[in-house]
Amino acid sequence: MEAEFTSLDSAVNFMTVLNTGAVQAQSEAEYVENGERLPGGTAESQAKELAYGIKQRVVAKAYASKPIKQWMRRRDRCAAQFQGAKAFKRVQDFKRNCGVDLKDCSPPAMEGKWLCDGYGNRPARIAEQNSHHPEDESWKPTVRDFSLFVASKMLVPTKATKFSQGRWGPTEYFHAFYPESAFEDETPAVKTWSGSDECHYFHGKYNDGNDDELIRRKKLCSCDPCFAGRYHNCMSNDLDNGLWYGYKETKRLVNQQVREVASTRSAATFENLKGWKIFKNPSAVVPKGNVVAVRVHNKDRGQTGEQYYLAKVTGPLRELKEGGMYEGNWYDRGFFVFEMTWFHYKGTSQLEGKKSVGDRHYVLGTQASDKCTMQLNGVVTGVDCFKGFKATKKVKGRDKVYVLSTDIHDAIMTLGSLSS
């Protein structure tokens, strides 16, 4: 069985559903299987009206013959899947939260797709097919209504082995709807962890105290000893001097203090952004430079692979009274925008023969093309993160260089959710 957990609530819920056949009592989620909504959940969620022939199941029936003790999840590391320090903190603490051992696995590059990949296209195909026949049946423009509609069309696989891959094949479908309020639990803020790309196996080691560990291995092995967690008894050959099959390394991911982040994923944070002093009177804000980080779209990352750009805010925030083209960008009426100047990333080259004091060097753009009007919801994080963003002494004949320390870079990647 395959499942992607987008929040702690969804992970705990799914394990509860498998073990009991019902949704957690305090959860707002609705689960549908074979045309029936499972019992459980809050009174509000169970009181919601059903549609498209979906019925209410009265008696809960566990899907697992025995309580699940271990769960193996396999990902293929596509861009949409969550890999980063925050995700691994969830893996580390999975047993503490869910009572189940989670083994998170992913194949090396170019080793092919996985079982669940073909099924992710089914909802899109159902929506496309129905859009051609709106007079027959349709759904209201809400996520819940669409979820119920898909659940009514995907009752059970036509044949359990029809889409099988090797010895795998689907036997039933679970559909779950979570309202937006279900995702308000805080994602753990964990310092960015480099080096995870070379590992393909993660397992949380539960300890009695509040100090769970994360086991990582470079190679995935499913032999009996490894499956039982006895990695040093691995039946595969020991390669590359350890950490491949028979060996493991442990790391402890610890929550760090959460700073205010200008992530515009919800209306609350967007309103918070509008109130920042940096967007009211940029010249009066310390630290100097009035710096913000702006997310870079995947297709624009280029050879340097930058996930964020830095910019100096030069003008106050304003709400556009009419839509139009502003310095090369089209914005609609009502957008909140501000003027800024881009910094240019110059890598980590040495200055005056001395080792860099930070990992990343920047110079402030001076050309007309470096000035831009940016919409507010492009900002990832800002002024509170850049207290250590320092300028070097200006060298004759050179631009002034600004040095971004490793700590600030880690804060942007972590707090701005750019490592996911």
Q: Average pLDDT of each block of 10 consecutive residues along the chain (420 residues)? A: 55 87 89 94 91 93 88 72 76 86 78 59 75 59 84 78 57 85 66 76 84 86 84 77 78 62 44 79 75 77 73 90 77 86 79 56 88 84 75 73 80 63
Q: What is the pLDDT of residue 260?
A: 37
How far apart, in Å, are the Cα atoms of 266 and each of 262, 270, 309, 383? 10, 6, 22, 20
Q: What is the CA radius of gyration of the chain?
A: 25
Q: What is the pLDDT of residue 186?
A: 57
* Residue 341 to residue 339: CA distance in whole angstroms: 7
Give the rounded distance of the alpha carbon of 3 from its chain centre. 15
Element holding 33 (H helix, E strand):
strand 30-33
Q: What is the pLDDT of residue 31?
A: 94
pTM over 0.85: no
* Residue 162 to residue 165: CA distance in whole angstroms: 9
